[in-house]
Amino acid sequence: MADALASCRADLVICARNLDRCETAAAEIREAHGVRVVAVACDVRREADVDRVVSRAVDEFGRIDILVNNSGTSWGAPAVDYPLEGWQKVIDVNLTGSFLMAQRVGRVLIEQGEGGKIINVSSVLALRGSPAEAVSAVAYNASKGGLISMTTDLAVAWGKHRICVNAIAPGWFPTEMSSSVLDASGEGFLSRIPLGRFGGDHDLKGAVVFLASAASDYVTGHTLAVEGGHLAA
C-alpha cells in the first residue's frame, strides 16, 4: 500500500515497532519512486509513540492528508479457553491503537480545514464467522469488526470536516501473521475463493489509491472487501 501511494507521488511516513524493517522499506520506496519517505518506530498502544509519529509527519511535510491504519496482531486459542492476556493484546493493537492514530490525525485534518482521508485496514474475518478448526482467533475477528464500526462512526462525525473515513477488508493474503493458518488450512480456504487464488502483492494497491484519492471524495463510511469473491461463495 505504501508503494502504491508513493507511485502516485505521495510522500510518506511509515511506522512500526521494528524500525529496521521500516527503514529498509523506506529506502526501497525512495529508490523506486523518488519520493520522500520517513521511517519512525511506533508502538500504537502507546499514546506518546502515536503523538511522536503525527508530530514528525507535520514537522517533515507541513501537513497530513492521508492515514492508513494497518497495525495488526493476533492470538490463536479456542474461544472457551481464550486468555484475557491475548484478548487485551489484540484489542489494544488492532482497535485501540487504530483509534489513537485516527484521533490524532483527525485533529490535524480538522485544524487544517481541507478535508482528508482515513483508511482503516479491517479483515474479511470481521464480516463472517470462521471455522474454529481452521481459525481460532476470536479477539482478532472482534477487533476487526470493531474497526468497521469505528469507521462508520467517524465517517458520520467527521463528514462535516470533509474527512472521508473508509475501511478495506482484505481476504486471505500470505503474510507473516497468516502463514501458520494458511500452511495448515490453506487448501480449504482456497477452495472457497471463486477467483481460485490468494491475494498478491498488487491486489490492495488499487483499493488504497482509490480510497486515498479524489476519486473517492463521495465515498465515506464504506468497507471495501478485497477477497477474490470469498464473501460471495
How do the domains of the chain map onto residue ranges? Answer: 64-232
pLDDT (0 to 100) of residue 132: 62
Grid-cell match 477488508, residue found: 169
Query: And the C-alpha cell for 215?
Result: 476519486
- Please tell me the distance from the alpha carbon of residue 109 to that of residue 115, in angstroms, as a whole number: 6
SS3 state of residue 117: strand
- Which pLDDT band holds residue 222 (cuts at 50, 70, 90)? very high
- Please tell me the distance from the alpha carbon of residue 21 to that of residue 27, in angstroms, as a whole number: 10
pLDDT (0 to 100) of residue 228: 96
- The DSSP secondary-structure symbol of 95 reads I
Q: Terminal CA-to-CA distance of the chain, rounded, Å? A: 26
- Please tell me the distance from the alpha carbon of residue 172 to that of residue 144, in angstroms, as a whole number: 14
- Please tell me the distance from the alpha carbon of residue 82 to that of residue 69, in angstroms, as a whole number: 26
Say if domain 64-232 classifies as CATH 1.10.3470.10: no
pLDDT (0 to 100) of residue 180: 76
pLDDT (0 to 100) of residue 185: 74
pLDDT in tens, 135-188: 788 999 999 999 999 999 999 999 999 999 999 999 988 887 777 777 777 787
Q: Does residue 189 surpass a pLDDT of 90?
A: no
pLDDT in tens, 91-138: 999 999 999 999 999 999 999 999 999 999 999 999 987 766 667 889
Strand pairing of 66-69 and 223-226? Answer: unpaired
- Please tell me the distance from the alpha carbon of residue 177 to that of residue 194, in angstroms, as a whole number: 23
Active site residues: 140
- Please tell me the distance from the alpha carbon of residue 202 to that of residue 220, in angstroms, as a whole number: 23
- Please tell me the distance from the alpha carbon of residue 22 to that of residue 38, in angstroms, as a whole number: 9
pLDDT (0 to 100) of residue 133: 63
**Maximum alpha-carbon separation in the chain:** 51
pLDDT in tens, 20-78: 999 999 999 999 999 999 999 999 999 999 999 999 999 999 999 999 999 999 998 99
pLDDT (0 to 100) of residue 128: 85
Grid-cell match 467527521, residue found: 158
What amino acid occupies position 177? M
